[in-house]
Amino acid sequence: MSHDDLTPEEVAKILPPGAALGWGLAKPPQRGPKREMSIDLIVKKAVEIADKDGLPSVSMNRIASALGFTAMSLYRYIPSKDDLLILMQDAISDVPIPAERPPQEWRESMREYVMGTVGIFREHPWYGDIPILGIPITPNNLRIVDWALQSLRDMPLNDYEKMSIVLLLSGYARTYGMLQRDIDRAVQAGSSEEEFSGLNYSAALRNLIKPEQYPNLHPIVMSGAYTGENEDENTVGNDLDFGLERILDGIEQFLIRKTTSDATEHHK
Amino acid sequence: MSHDDLTPEEVAKILPPGAALGWGLAKPPQRGPKREMSIDLIVKKAVEIADKDGLPSVSMNRIASALGFTAMSLYRYIPSKDDLLILMQDAISDVPIPAERPPQEWRESMREYVMGTVGIFREHPWYGDIPILGIPITPNNLRIVDWALQSLRDMPLNDYEKMSIVLLLSGYARTYGMLQRDIDRAVQAGSSEEEFSGLNYSAALRNLIKPEQYPNLHPIVMSGAYTGENEDENTVGNDLDFGLERILDGIEQFLIRKTTSDATEHHK
DNA sequence: AAAAAAGTGTTTATAATATAAACAGTATAT
DNA sequence: ATATACTGTTTATATTATAAACACTTTTTT
């Protein structure tokens, strides 16, 4: 409601500590010994560890040791581990955003956005492990929201419709990012992609899926399609593209319906 | 490939231990003292605890104590905690499946499926916290896949197209289930739904989102739509319905295109 | 009937976790 | 000169999954 200009201190008080730190709103200390570390350094090291050994390996001890300090020293910079996770998540959301496209290329623009978001999951498989505690409010996360809104800017939609579409696209990207992550993780854990897709379980499923209890699934298990026996016909990449094109078609239908009904309303 | 009839023991050897237990393939012990517990009892109690206090509260100690035994006794029934999680996940997937609808009501049928799946997340908010280690292979999870395939059974689609659509719908249900869960969780943790939607951060965001850096998001933050200031116009329920209808429209387009191109191919 | 085998639930032990409290030392403001 | 604010460290705590060894109990084999 209010259009007040708040001071940075006032803004910092409203936001959760992690977000306030992300916006650089922590005022540097005025007294005491010189700091030997920095928030950026800690977050960078934490991301490095998570990339290499996964999120469970990111302990306060591990980060501090890697930097040559004790675990407790980190608490002079970041109030809690949850806040650190928020900062890590925002740090890796600092992705390059491609040049804007003309409005008629909105489908390609949305594809770029979804693929870009899925890319974060590929590069940092722990991205999806950090719990979502609310709508994005950190700087790089909001830049990604801004990116998603780009192709919608000049469309005949109200703000809520735009946000619904952004949610649809970002949710889709998240789903496939996490699916891709789960596969990468299973592969890295020694299990093969075939194991994940269920190829190893084909024989077992053929014995367990009875047509009486699973009338619709039964033929698909028997044909081998469920466990992806013809790998070239069924890959995750294909599934991702397939679903995305259906969603884009659905958005297109909405736009068509919206513009024609606007035209008829004009006639009234 | 093979059409062999395998013995239950052979099937159990192929599957991961958790899944084999879910299918009831563990042969009862032949010697030794009578068992005082059962797998079902343990899983039921674990689900009860998770429902009440969340997944982190489900420790081996907590389950065993609630049943009047020691933590280690559980390992006589279930090989590891990961296996227990698989059994818990399958147990709550035992949802009632509504009566089949005539083919022309496929949209309503898909809506029922998505809403039903989202419902599992509402009733058991920890559902989405259990990591996905591969395609569904446990009995109740496969029953849900069978449900999803119901409305597609008689459609002119090949098996891979059907599975892609199932993946699209189940992924969408999962996304919104988890969103709903995150909100419920934030509310239960004392923070309000307004806090989650960002309403409390409106004033802060208005000061932070500069038009130069966030050209597309800026107007939406200023109008109050980003933080959902007109609650009646923007609810999660609305977003769920909006996205689902777009996806159903996208599927409809695919069906139309497919049937007309089949017709033209016939003409050749 | 005797002995071996298999399985029961329990006790004890281990390494790792986030972070609270108290500490001695250091830079700045009054 | 002294009070204040801040630094990084040390010490301590409760909790976790599960391995190993234990004394009993039931069934199978000899």
User: Between residues 15 and 44 of chain A, which touch chain B (CB distance below 8 Å)?
Assistant: 15, 23
Nearest chain A residue to B200 by CA distance is A14
Rounded distance between C-alpha atoms, residue A103 and residue B216, angstroms: 14
Give the contacts of B14 (CB within 8 A, at least 6 positions apart): A200, A201, A203, A204, B6
The mean pLDDT of chain A is: 90
CB of A215 nearer than 7 A to strand D: no
Q: What is the mean pLDDT of residues B235-245?
A: 84
- The structural architecture, per CATH, of the domain A103-191+235-267 is Orthogonal Bundle (1.10)
Question: What's the pLDDT tens digit per position in A66-79?
Answer: 999 999 999 999 99
Test the B interface: residue of A113, A209, A235, A239 with most B CBs within 10 Å: A239
Q: What is the mean pLDDT of residues B73-100?
A: 96
Which DSSP category does B198 fall into?
T
Q: Give contacts of A106 with chain B, Cβ < 8 Å.
A: none
CATH class label, A9-92? mainly alpha
pLDDT band for position B232 (cuts 50, 70, 90)? low
Chain A CB within 8 Å of residue B213 CB: yes
Question: What's the pLDDT tens digit per position in B37-77?
Answer: 999 999 999 999 999 999 999 999 999 999 999 999 999 99
- Amino acid B250: pLDDT: 98
Rounded distance between C-alpha atoms, residue B256 and residue A112, angstroms: 27
Phi-psi region at B97: left, alpha or beta (left = phi > 0; alpha = psi -120 to 50)? beta
Rounded distance between C-alpha atoms, residue B54 and residue A226, angstroms: 33
CB A147 within 8 A of CB A200: no
Residues 140-179 on chain B lying near strand D, CB distance under 7 A: none
Q: What is the mean pLDDT of residues A176-204?
A: 78
Which DSSP category does B20 fall into?
H
Rg (chain B; Cα; Å)? 24
What dotted CATH number matches B8-92? 1.10.10.60
Q: Is A135's CB within 8 Å of B197's CB? A: yes
Q: Is A249's CB within 8 Å of B253's CB? A: yes
pLDDT value at B79 more than 60: yes
Alpha helices per DSSP H over B106-235 = 106-123, 139-150, 159-188, 193-197, 202-208, 218-223
CA angle A251, A148, B224 (to 5 degrees): 95
> Which of A4-18, A93-107, B135-149, B241-255 has the lowest average pLDDT?
A4-18
- What φ, ψ does residue A235 adopt, rounded to 5°? -125, 160
Distance measured from the CA of protein residue A220 to the C1' of nucleotide C10, in angstroms: 48
Rounded distance between C-alpha atoms, residue B9 and residue B19, angstroms: 13
- Amino acid B235: pLDDT: 60
Question: What's the pLDDT tens digit per position in A94-119?
Answer: 999 999 999 999 999 999 999 999 99
pLDDT value at B105 more than 90: yes
CB B166 within 8 A of CB A226: no
Residues of chain A with pLDDT > 90, as a percent, come to: 71
Give the contacts of A251 (CB within 8 A, at least 6 positions apart): A110, A165, A168, B246, B250
Residues of chain B with pLDDT > 70, as a percent, come to: 91
pLDDT band for position A215 (cuts 50, 70, 90)? very high
**Separation in Å, CA of A32 to nearest CA in chain B:** 30
pLDDT value at B2 more than 60: no
**Closest-lying nucleotide for B76 based on CA to C1':** C8
Rounded distance between C-alpha atoms, residue A121 and residue A113, angstroms: 13
What ranges do the domains of chain B cover? 8-92, 103-191+235-267
**Of A26 and A185, more confident:** A26
| Token pair recorded at residue A40 | 């950026």
- What φ, ψ does residue B168 adopt, rounded to 5°? -60, -45
Q: What is the mean pLDDT of residues B124-151?
A: 94
Give the contacts of B108 (CB within 8 A, at least 6 positions apart): B101
pLDDT value at B118 more than 60: yes
Residues of chain A with pLDDT > 70, as a percent, come to: 91
**Closest-lying nucleotide for A30 based on CA to C1':** C28
B81: how many CB neighbours lie within 10 A of its CB?
Answer: 15
pLDDT band for position B260 (cuts 50, 70, 90)? confident
> Which of A57-71, A110-124, A169-183, A220-234 has the lowest average pLDDT?
A220-234
3-state helix, strand, coil in chain B (%, to 5): 65, 0, 35
Test the A interface: residue of B82, B184, B242, B258 with most A CBs within 10 Å: B242
**Separation in Å, CA of A72 to nearest CA in chain B:** 24
pLDDT value at A149 more than 70: yes
pLDDT value at B192 more than 70: no
Most trustworthy range by pLDDT among A189-193, A257-261, B148-152? B148-152
- Amino acid A230: pLDDT: 75
Q: What is the mean pLDDT of residues A203-224?
A: 96
Q: What is the mean pLDDT of residues A140-146?
A: 98
Residue A6: Cβ-neighbour burial (10 angstroms; 0-12, 13-18, 19+) = middle
Distance measured from the CA of protein residue A59 to the C1' of nucleotide C16, in angstroms: 10
Nearest chain B residue to A244 by CA distance is B168
C-alpha distance from residue A129 to each of A56, A85, B42 (Å): 10, 10, 27
pLDDT value at A266 more than 70: no
pLDDT value at B267 more than 60: no
- Amino acid A1: pLDDT: 47
Per residue, what are the HEC states of A128-169? HHCCCCCCCCCHHHHHHHHHHHHCCCCCCCCHHHHHHHHHHH
Q: What is the DSSP string of A170-191?
A: HHHHHHHHHHHHHHHHHHHTT-
pLDDT band for position A189 (cuts 50, 70, 90)? low
Size of interface A-B (CB pairs under 8 A): 233
